[in-house]
Structure 1
Amino acid sequence: MFLLAFGLWTYFLWPTFIYNIWQSERSWAAGSPTAYLVVHLVIAVISLVLGTAIGVLGYRALRAPNR
């Protein structure tokens, strides 16, 4: 259950973070993305990928027959 909850929490947390970073005045300079935006987007994407993998593991563990 913990792994599945962690995966779901990831999808609750990171999209909000991405939205807030995207709206930040530090993310854009003269219409171009700054290093601040790029670094945080990379972190968010990696976290979403890892959260997905962890959530899938948790789901598969719950669905596995008891041995």
Structure 2
Amino acid sequence: MNKIKQYFVDSFSELGKVTWPTKNQAVMLGLVVIGVCAIFAAIMGVLDYGFGFGMEELLKLAAQK
């Protein structure tokens, strides 16, 4: 039981040593994450549409033969 207590004491002690970001830094980093996710989602959407269109065209060509 003493080891568990010591673990939590040490954990909270280490959390006190952490340099936490300021509010402005946290907001800016959050906006960066949202922006990167939006760009990635747009790229994935374009790729999905392109591959879907390509597969439809290939299936149309295969059906004509």
Higher relative contact order (CA 8 A, sep 6+): 1
Output the TM-score relative to the length of structure 2: 0.49
- Larger relative helix fraction: 2
State which structure, 1 or 2, has the greater radius of gyration over its C-alpha atoms: 2
